[in-house]
Amino acid sequence: MANLIDGKAVSAAVKAQVKAECEALKSEGVTVGLAVVIVGDNPASRVYVNNKKKACAEVGFESYEYALPEETTQQELLELVNRLNGDSKVNGILVQLPLPRHIDENAVINAISPVKDVDAFHPRNVGHIMIGDYSFLPCTPAGVMELIASTGVEVEGKNCVVIGRSNIVGKPMAMLLLHKNGTVTITHSRTKNLKEICAVADILVAAVGKAGFVTEDMIKPGAVVIDVGMNRNAEGKLCGDVDFEGCKEKAGYITPVPGGVGPMTIAMLMRNTLTAAKLQRK
Protein backbone atom coordinates (compact mmCIF):
# COMPACT_ATOMS: atom_id res chain seq x y z
CA MET A 1 0.00 0.00 0.00
CA ALA A 2 1.28 3.48 -0.96
CA ASN A 3 1.93 6.08 1.69
CA LEU A 4 -1.21 8.13 2.10
CA ILE A 5 -0.66 11.89 1.79
CA ASP A 6 -2.76 13.41 4.54
CA GLY A 7 -4.13 16.72 3.24
CA LYS A 8 -6.00 17.33 6.47
CA ALA A 9 -2.80 17.15 8.55
CA VAL A 10 -0.72 19.24 6.13
CA SER A 11 -3.47 21.86 5.83
CA ALA A 12 -3.86 21.98 9.63
CA ALA A 13 -0.13 22.74 9.93
CA VAL A 14 -0.39 25.56 7.34
CA LYS A 15 -3.42 27.04 9.13
CA ALA A 16 -1.70 26.80 12.52
CA GLN A 17 1.22 28.81 11.15
CA VAL A 18 -1.14 31.40 9.62
CA LYS A 19 -3.03 31.63 12.91
CA ALA A 20 0.18 32.27 14.88
CA GLU A 21 1.18 35.04 12.46
CA CYS A 22 -2.33 36.50 12.56
CA GLU A 23 -2.15 36.67 16.35
CA ALA A 24 1.21 38.42 16.16
CA LEU A 25 -0.28 40.99 13.77
CA LYS A 26 -3.28 41.46 16.09
CA SER A 27 -0.96 42.27 18.97
CA GLU A 28 0.36 45.09 16.76
CA GLY A 29 -3.21 46.29 16.14
CA VAL A 30 -3.60 44.78 12.66
CA THR A 31 -6.68 42.72 11.84
CA VAL A 32 -6.69 40.59 8.69
CA GLY A 33 -9.90 40.64 6.61
CA LEU A 34 -11.16 38.61 3.67
CA ALA A 35 -14.18 39.62 1.59
CA VAL A 36 -16.01 36.71 0.00
CA VAL A 37 -18.46 37.56 -2.76
CA ILE A 38 -21.04 35.06 -3.98
CA VAL A 39 -23.57 35.74 -6.72
CA GLY A 40 -26.63 33.51 -7.07
CA ASP A 41 -27.42 30.30 -5.22
CA ASN A 42 -25.21 27.58 -6.69
CA PRO A 43 -25.24 24.96 -3.89
CA ALA A 44 -21.59 23.91 -4.46
CA SER A 45 -20.46 27.56 -4.35
CA ARG A 46 -22.41 28.02 -1.11
CA VAL A 47 -20.54 25.08 0.47
CA TYR A 48 -17.16 26.48 -0.67
CA VAL A 49 -17.99 29.96 0.66
CA ASN A 50 -19.10 28.53 4.03
CA ASN A 51 -15.88 26.51 4.27
CA LYS A 52 -13.80 29.60 3.51
CA LYS A 53 -15.62 31.62 6.19
CA LYS A 54 -15.11 28.79 8.66
CA ALA A 55 -11.39 28.71 7.91
CA CYS A 56 -11.19 32.50 8.41
CA ALA A 57 -12.72 32.11 11.88
CA GLU A 58 -10.29 29.28 12.65
CA VAL A 59 -7.17 31.34 11.87
CA GLY A 60 -8.49 34.58 13.38
CA PHE A 61 -9.37 36.57 10.24
CA GLU A 62 -12.46 38.72 9.86
CA SER A 63 -14.59 37.56 6.96
CA TYR A 64 -17.07 39.78 5.16
CA GLU A 65 -19.64 37.98 3.08
CA TYR A 66 -21.44 39.66 0.19
CA ALA A 67 -24.22 37.36 -1.01
CA LEU A 68 -25.74 38.93 -4.10
CA PRO A 69 -28.84 37.76 -5.97
CA GLU A 70 -28.56 35.87 -9.27
CA GLU A 71 -29.89 38.88 -11.22
CA THR A 72 -27.04 41.18 -10.04
CA THR A 73 -25.69 43.04 -13.06
CA GLN A 74 -22.03 43.03 -14.06
CA GLN A 75 -21.92 46.77 -13.37
CA GLU A 76 -23.24 46.28 -9.82
CA LEU A 77 -20.66 43.56 -9.15
CA LEU A 78 -17.84 45.69 -10.55
CA GLU A 79 -18.95 48.57 -8.32
CA LEU A 80 -18.81 46.29 -5.26
CA VAL A 81 -15.32 45.03 -6.23
CA ASN A 82 -14.22 48.62 -6.65
CA ARG A 83 -15.55 49.53 -3.19
CA LEU A 84 -13.75 46.54 -1.65
CA ASN A 85 -10.52 47.52 -3.44
CA GLY A 86 -10.65 50.80 -1.52
CA ASP A 87 -11.73 49.34 1.84
CA SER A 88 -8.76 49.18 4.21
CA LYS A 89 -10.46 46.51 6.40
CA VAL A 90 -10.42 44.16 3.42
CA ASN A 91 -7.02 42.65 2.65
CA GLY A 92 -8.19 39.95 0.26
CA ILE A 93 -11.09 39.74 -2.20
CA LEU A 94 -12.44 36.44 -3.37
CA VAL A 95 -15.22 36.32 -5.93
CA GLN A 96 -16.57 32.78 -5.92
CA LEU A 97 -16.66 31.26 -9.41
CA PRO A 98 -18.55 30.34 -11.51
CA LEU A 99 -20.52 33.56 -11.92
CA PRO A 100 -23.94 33.64 -13.59
CA ARG A 101 -23.65 33.52 -17.39
CA HIS A 102 -24.59 37.16 -17.94
CA ILE A 103 -21.45 38.29 -16.07
CA ASP A 104 -18.05 38.28 -17.76
CA GLU A 105 -15.75 36.51 -15.28
CA ASN A 106 -12.61 38.00 -16.82
CA ALA A 107 -13.94 41.53 -16.42
CA VAL A 108 -14.53 40.86 -12.72
CA ILE A 109 -11.14 39.18 -12.17
CA ASN A 110 -9.42 42.08 -13.94
CA ALA A 111 -11.21 44.56 -11.66
CA ILE A 112 -9.81 43.06 -8.44
CA SER A 113 -6.80 44.97 -7.18
CA PRO A 114 -3.76 42.70 -7.80
CA VAL A 115 -2.61 43.25 -4.20
CA LYS A 116 -5.94 41.90 -2.92
CA ASP A 117 -6.19 39.10 -5.50
CA VAL A 118 -5.82 36.18 -3.08
CA ASP A 119 -6.93 33.66 -5.73
CA ALA A 120 -4.02 34.86 -7.93
CA PHE A 121 -6.24 34.88 -11.02
CA HIS A 122 -5.52 38.50 -12.08
CA PRO A 123 -3.42 38.61 -15.29
CA ARG A 124 -0.76 40.61 -13.47
CA ASN A 125 -0.38 37.88 -10.84
CA VAL A 126 -0.48 35.19 -13.54
CA GLY A 127 2.40 37.01 -15.23
CA HIS A 128 4.35 37.10 -11.96
CA ILE A 129 3.90 33.33 -11.66
CA MET A 130 5.29 32.82 -15.19
CA ILE A 131 8.39 34.81 -14.29
CA GLY A 132 8.75 33.03 -10.95
CA ASP A 133 8.61 36.27 -8.94
CA TYR A 134 5.35 36.21 -7.07
CA SER A 135 3.53 37.17 -3.87
CA PHE A 136 0.47 34.99 -4.39
CA LEU A 137 0.24 31.53 -5.88
CA PRO A 138 -3.07 30.09 -7.04
CA CYS A 139 -4.40 28.17 -4.06
CA THR A 140 -4.87 24.67 -5.50
CA PRO A 141 -1.50 24.29 -7.27
CA ALA A 142 0.24 25.88 -4.27
CA GLY A 143 -1.49 23.34 -2.04
CA VAL A 144 -0.34 20.50 -4.29
CA MET A 145 3.26 21.71 -3.97
CA GLU A 146 2.93 21.60 -0.18
CA LEU A 147 1.60 18.05 -0.38
CA ILE A 148 4.49 16.96 -2.61
CA ALA A 149 6.95 18.63 -0.22
CA SER A 150 5.36 16.73 2.68
CA THR A 151 6.41 13.42 1.07
CA GLY A 152 10.08 14.42 1.12
CA VAL A 153 10.30 13.56 -2.61
CA GLU A 154 12.37 16.20 -4.45
CA VAL A 155 10.79 17.62 -7.62
CA GLU A 156 14.16 18.53 -9.12
CA GLY A 157 15.05 16.32 -12.08
CA LYS A 158 11.84 14.30 -11.84
CA ASN A 159 9.50 13.51 -14.69
CA CYS A 160 6.33 15.41 -13.80
CA VAL A 161 3.11 14.96 -15.74
CA VAL A 162 0.08 17.21 -15.28
CA ILE A 163 -3.22 16.04 -16.76
CA GLY A 164 -5.30 19.15 -17.51
CA ARG A 165 -4.40 22.65 -18.73
CA SER A 166 -6.97 24.92 -17.11
CA ASN A 167 -5.94 28.42 -16.08
CA ILE A 168 -6.73 27.75 -12.42
CA VAL A 169 -5.12 24.33 -11.99
CA GLY A 170 -3.24 22.68 -14.87
CA LYS A 171 -1.20 25.58 -16.28
CA PRO A 172 -0.04 27.14 -12.99
CA MET A 173 0.58 23.63 -11.61
CA ALA A 174 2.99 22.92 -14.45
CA MET A 175 4.72 26.24 -13.87
CA LEU A 176 5.25 25.60 -10.15
CA LEU A 177 6.74 22.16 -10.88
CA LEU A 178 8.98 23.77 -13.49
CA HIS A 179 10.14 26.40 -10.98
CA LYS A 180 11.23 23.49 -8.77
CA ASN A 181 13.27 22.09 -11.69
CA GLY A 182 10.93 19.25 -12.60
CA THR A 183 10.84 18.12 -16.24
CA VAL A 184 7.21 18.86 -16.93
CA THR A 185 4.74 17.54 -19.49
CA ILE A 186 1.29 19.11 -19.72
CA THR A 187 -1.35 16.82 -21.17
CA HIS A 188 -4.94 17.51 -22.23
CA SER A 189 -7.88 16.10 -24.16
CA ARG A 190 -5.98 16.13 -27.48
CA THR A 191 -2.87 14.43 -26.11
CA LYS A 192 -1.88 11.25 -27.92
CA ASN A 193 -0.56 8.25 -25.99
CA LEU A 194 -1.64 9.68 -22.64
CA LYS A 195 -1.27 6.33 -20.89
CA GLU A 196 2.36 5.95 -21.96
CA ILE A 197 3.20 9.52 -20.97
CA CYS A 198 1.64 9.12 -17.52
CA ALA A 199 3.25 5.72 -16.96
CA VAL A 200 6.75 7.26 -16.89
CA ALA A 201 5.82 10.07 -14.49
CA ASP A 202 7.62 10.17 -11.14
CA ILE A 203 5.06 12.79 -10.10
CA LEU A 204 1.58 12.65 -11.63
CA VAL A 205 -0.99 15.39 -11.00
CA ALA A 206 -4.51 14.69 -12.25
CA ALA A 207 -6.80 17.71 -12.78
CA VAL A 208 -9.27 16.40 -15.31
CA GLY A 209 -12.69 16.39 -13.68
CA LYS A 210 -13.54 12.78 -14.58
CA ALA A 211 -14.11 10.18 -11.88
CA GLY A 212 -11.70 7.23 -11.99
CA PHE A 213 -9.89 8.59 -15.07
CA VAL A 214 -6.40 7.57 -13.91
CA THR A 215 -6.11 3.81 -13.75
CA GLU A 216 -3.43 1.52 -12.36
CA ASP A 217 -1.86 0.92 -15.79
CA MET A 218 -1.23 4.68 -16.14
CA ILE A 219 1.05 5.02 -13.14
CA LYS A 220 4.71 4.22 -12.63
CA PRO A 221 5.48 1.96 -9.65
CA GLY A 222 6.41 4.17 -6.68
CA ALA A 223 5.13 7.41 -8.26
CA VAL A 224 3.74 10.35 -6.30
CA VAL A 225 0.10 10.55 -7.42
CA ILE A 226 -1.83 13.73 -6.65
CA ASP A 227 -5.55 13.79 -7.31
CA VAL A 228 -7.01 17.28 -7.74
CA GLY A 229 -10.33 16.05 -9.12
CA MET A 230 -13.57 16.63 -7.23
CA ASN A 231 -16.31 14.63 -8.85
CA ARG A 232 -19.46 12.80 -7.85
CA ASN A 233 -19.70 9.12 -8.74
CA ALA A 234 -22.90 7.31 -9.75
CA GLU A 235 -23.89 7.03 -6.05
CA GLY A 236 -23.38 10.76 -5.55
CA LYS A 237 -20.24 10.20 -3.47
CA LEU A 238 -17.34 12.66 -3.70
CA CYS A 239 -14.43 11.12 -5.60
CA GLY A 240 -11.32 12.17 -7.46
CA ASP A 241 -9.89 11.63 -10.94
CA VAL A 242 -7.78 8.69 -9.78
CA ASP A 243 -9.06 5.17 -9.31
CA PHE A 244 -7.75 5.14 -5.74
CA GLU A 245 -8.45 1.49 -4.99
CA GLY A 246 -6.75 0.38 -8.21
CA CYS A 247 -3.70 2.66 -7.83
CA LYS A 248 -3.01 2.57 -4.10
CA GLU A 249 -0.83 -0.56 -4.20
CA LYS A 250 1.32 0.64 -7.07
CA ALA A 251 1.89 4.31 -6.18
CA GLY A 252 4.59 5.34 -3.72
CA TYR A 253 2.49 8.20 -2.34
CA ILE A 254 -1.14 9.00 -3.09
CA THR A 255 -3.72 11.59 -2.03
CA PRO A 256 -7.21 10.47 -1.04
CA VAL A 257 -10.41 12.26 -2.07
CA PRO A 258 -11.78 13.67 0.15
CA GLY A 259 -8.98 14.65 2.54
CA GLY A 260 -6.22 15.34 0.00
CA VAL A 261 -5.98 18.45 -2.15
CA GLY A 262 -9.36 19.94 -1.11
CA PRO A 263 -8.36 21.06 2.42
CA MET A 264 -5.08 22.46 1.06
CA THR A 265 -6.83 24.87 -1.30
CA ILE A 266 -8.52 26.62 1.62
CA ALA A 267 -5.38 26.61 3.76
CA MET A 268 -3.43 28.28 0.93
CA LEU A 269 -6.20 30.88 0.57
CA MET A 270 -5.65 31.73 4.24
CA ARG A 271 -1.91 32.00 3.64
CA ASN A 272 -2.45 34.29 0.63
CA THR A 273 -4.76 36.53 2.64
CA LEU A 274 -2.15 36.86 5.37
CA THR A 275 0.48 37.68 2.71
CA ALA A 276 -1.87 40.32 1.28
CA ALA A 277 -2.30 41.92 4.72
CA LYS A 278 1.46 42.02 5.23
CA LEU A 279 2.06 43.50 1.77
CA GLN A 280 -0.58 46.17 2.26
CA ARG A 281 0.95 47.11 5.60
CA LYS A 282 4.17 47.98 3.82
User: Which residue ranges make up the site for ligand NAP (CB under 6 A)?
Assistant: 140, 163-166, 168-170, 187-191, 194, 207-209, 228-231, 261-262, 265
CB of 141 closer than 8 Å to CB of 172? yes
Q: Minimal distance in Å, beta carbon 170 to ligand NAP? A: 5
CB of 92 or CB of 170, closer to ligand NAP: 170
Q: Least distance to ligand NAP from the beta carbon of 257, Å?
A: 8
For β-strands 92-95 and 33-39, DSSP reports them as parallel
Q: Is 119 a catalytic residue?
A: yes
Report in angstroms the alpha-carbon separations of 42 from 39, 76, 139: 8, 19, 21
CA distances from 26 to 30, 33, 59, 102, 145 (A): 5, 12, 12, 40, 29
Q: Do strands 224-227 and 203-206 pair parallel, antiparallel, or not at all (unpaired)?
A: parallel
Cβ-based nearer residue to ligand NAP, 76 or 216: 216
Rg over alpha carbons for the chain, rounded to the nearest Å, is 19
Instruction: Decide if 232 contacts 211 (C-beta within 8 A).
Output: yes
Say how many CA atoms lie within 13 Å of 189 toward its Cβ.
4
> Measured from the CB atom, is 114 or 240 closer to ligand NAP?
240
Helices and strands counted in the chain (H then E): 10, 11
Instruction: Point out the catalytic residue in the list 117, 119, 202, 241.
Output: 119
Selected catalytic residue, list 52, 171, 220, 250: 52
> Rounded to 5 degrees, what are φ and ψ at 23?
-65, -40
Compute the least distance from the CB of residue 144 to ligand NAP, in Å. 9
Is 133 marked active-site? no
Q: How far is the CB of 137 from ligand NAP (least distance, A)?
A: 13
Q: Which of 15, 96, 158, 243 is catalytic?
A: 96
Residue nearest ligand NAP (C-beta atom):
166
Helices 170-179 and 139-151 cross at an angle (nearest 10°) of 40
Query: Can you spell out the DSSP letters for 102-148?
Result: TS-HHHHHHHS-GGG-TT--SHHHHHHHHHT--S---HHHHHHHHHH
Q: Does residue 8 have an active-site annotation? A: no
Nearer to ligand NAP by C-beta: 265 or 273? 265
Cβ-based nearer residue to ligand NAP, 115 or 227: 227
CB of 250 to ligand NAP, least distance (A): 20
Active site residues: 52, 96, 119
